[in-house]
Structure 1
Amino acid sequence: MLLIAVLSMSLVAQEIKISGEMWNRWTMDSGTTAADTMNTSIRSNTLSLERGYFGLEAKFTETVKGRFTVDMFSTDALKDGAGLKLKYAYVDFANVLPIPDSKITVGLQKVYFGSIYDWDYTIIGKAPTDEYKIANSADYGISLNGYLPSGLGDYALGIYNGEGYKNWGQNLKNNTELAYLANVRLTPIPGLSLGGSFMTNSSEREESITTGAANAAYNRQMLADGLARIAFGPLDLWAEYISKSVEYPNVAAGTADYSANGLMVMPIVSLKNYLGKDIQILGRWDRWDETDNSANRNLSETVTAGINYNFMHNESAVPAMQLQMNYSNRTYDADESAASYANGLKDYAQLMLQLKWRFSNTIK
């Protein structure tokens, strides 16, 4: 499939960029082995190819560009121990509308919500909106993207399936409503970024496809995100707030409705100027509050500490080979969480060591 894609693009494209990224990871999880006890043991200890991306970017004209990326990964769900998914498959059309510095993107693309679309995994973990299942990192849709005047920032307006890149076609038969998104990222002064995102989404369908009766599982979601980032000298500081409001219109008296919110703070410090080596130390603190959800009541706190050693770079000084180590600890508040969380079985301590390597080459 990849060979066919390369050959097809090479026939019509002015330029093709081939790229790849591999995440070889060791993960050790530990936690309690019995409810409401302090006894801990190693739950899992595994080596895996957590992610393997292979991508093609084709430049057809000065205003038309395409991107195709597949995601390879280790999995127990398939007998061969590996899986393959489409990650991106879209075309950018620049200058279609009479709006300066704008483009229309069509296909399987990034979801421009919060930090998820420019999250580069400086820390091994996912972006908060991905970690807490607020938004998907990619989805099928169409979006308008562009830059604000005078270098003030950028914006995105998008319409998506709302189910993420893992679902399409027959898998969407139970949800006929689309997701709508607006995002803006401002850079009022160098080193400071302020962003805001808003999305409406839904799941299930309002009426049963077979009986026509009201579907109690149907829900409407309003999602919001606020982001601040300060990059000054060796410090890169992120702060992100997430809000989720869910309404079940077919459940009486709004008893199933709920809201949830989360907060992340992540400082990253570069030691390159002090040690002569491209080394970063980092931390992250998350708080996720879903105590208003009677069906899944939980309040969690996660603390992560890590170090990165970028020991090989490409010609653009971007890390081409990186060694990462993260230690994370997640606990659920026993007083505020449901019994399935309060018993300690979902608390965990996790150690991850990852070798990440990238490559790219442009064929003209």
Structure 2
Amino acid sequence: MNITAIEVFPLKIRNEPVYLGDSRGLDPARDYYIRPEYRSIYSRNLETLLVKIEADDGSHGWGEALAPVGPEVTGEIVERLLSPFLIGEDPRDIDVIWNKLYDSMRERGYFSGFMVDAITAVDIALWDLLGKSVGLPVYRLLGGAHRKRIPAYVSGIPRQTKEERVQLALEWKARGFEAIKLHLGYGVREDASIAAEMREALGDDFRLMIDAHWKYSVPDAIRLGRRLEALGVEFLEAPTLPEDIDGHVEICRALDMAVAIGEAKRTRYQFKERLVKRAADLLQPDVGRAGIGETRKIANMAEAFNIKVAPHLSVGLGVCTAATLHLSAAIPNFHILEYQPSVLPVANKLLKDPIACEGGFYELPEGPGLGVELDEEKLRSWMKR
């Protein structure tokens, strides 16, 4: 079996409301804007990169790279740099191919960012193709499923007022969800106040998590964490700058609650020092940034440190979501998975059979490969918009 073709689909889908709700930085005249509260570039669209790889026996696989901004950049890397070295390769040699592509720009310092995102799209497509070629779901290829219903938390309560936030949170609770993550980072006092109002409304048994979006200094992160501990918050995500490993160590030692990190990291090499130094209590690699094979290696490494994995899942569409579900099923140290209420319905419009997340659980796709198939005709029509 040999690879015969690689096709890229940089996709931009207009979706309202914008991801995580409105922002003061949103400019109606431009697609991209900087959210002042998070300091990051966001898009008014849902953006992603899909990749299709075909083999000479007629089989194919779909991959996806998390590309919330500039998916055409990642697509260019796949087309111009990676594809010439993929044509003619055996698609079943997934680990060999990953290492070959990773090594190809390693000495130049391109061992993260857009380069690894591009490798990730290829990696996921190869796992999908392999599963389809042997008639098995990816989780079987990874060694089997520890679980077939994947517990999920609602990510974000994008409302402006206290009353609106509480009302939406109660609606999710009524629909059977038992966990919510709040996207905060507005200041220690305001973050603690919002968390307190949610705790009061949802009750002591409801699981609350906080994402601080790298907002705080180490002392302020500790101050916030201690206030959140009193509210029974399960974990504090991204409390300080992602490069500050020693700062995270200090935060972890000061708090009893779990500190979660990892969405910005892409390889086991980036997680290694953080594990050795105990700079996190919970890892959050994103399969759309690391790929299936590399995320499994990260999870295996974390298992040796008795640390669980709660995969990050933001604006990835159906292929990325399905890949994350298979990985989540196959690792023993899985904790919980993110659910994006504004993203999954859009993702499902491109799938022939939708992915279900109801009552606080995803259902694991059971078909060959990733268990999902894209509506290619619809995808191509969306590309022309």
TM-score with structure 2 length normalisation?
0.25
Q: Which has the higher relative contact order, 1 or 2, with Cα contacts under 8 A spaced 6 or more apart?
A: 2
Larger Rg: 1
Structure with higher helix content: 2
TM-score with structure 1 length normalisation?
0.26
